[in-house]
Structures are given as C-alpha cells and as structure tokens.
Amino acid sequence: MEWDQSRLITALDVLRGCGEDPADYVATEIRIAEGRFTAWPPKLQALFAPARSVATGRPTYALRRIDA
C-alpha cells in the first residue's frame, strides 16, 4: 500500500486543527538521506547529529567450493 505523503500531511494538519493529537492515530517517521546530511553546513549537521545513528548493513555471504 502506498500513501500520498502530501495528503497525509494535510490530513494531520486537519486533525491538529480539530484539537486531536495525530500520534493517537498514526506513526510518523522522519528520514534524512545520508548524501543530503553530509552536504549540509556544519551548524545544521551539529543540530541533527545527536539524533543520528549509523547501523551496519546486511551481511553478505559467498559460497565457494573447496576441493580437498
């Protein structure tokens, strides 16, 4: 299922305007592309850096035949 992000933002604004807390209804996630983050000025990076964590990627495996 795909959701139109701009329409979701509008719907959340309507909820807030009605005095509702959107967190009671939806989960939100903010993503920042690593390439964009590294291109930011240092002051902006410093503001967001405490919220940043770097995770390891998926492990890769290679199978090789070993002749004994």
Chain centroid to CA 6 = 16
Domains identified in the chain, total number: 1
- Is 62 within the bounds of a domain? no
pTM equals 0.56
Find the mean pLDDT for residues 19-33.
93
| Position 55 pLDDT exceeds 80 | yes
pLDDT of residue 13: 96
pLDDT for res 49: 95
Q: Residue 20 falls within a domain, yes or no?
A: yes
Q: What is the pLDDT of residue 68?
A: 76
- Helix/strand/coil for 52: coil
Structural domain contains residue 34: yes
Asked whether the beta carbons of 5 and 20 are under 8 A apart, the reply is: no
pLDDT recorded at residue 38: 95
Question: Is there a domain that residue 59 lies in?
Answer: no
Averaged confidence pLDDT in the chain: 93
Residue 32 pLDDT: 93
Residue 39 included in any domain: yes
Q: What domain range is 34 assigned to?
A: 5-51
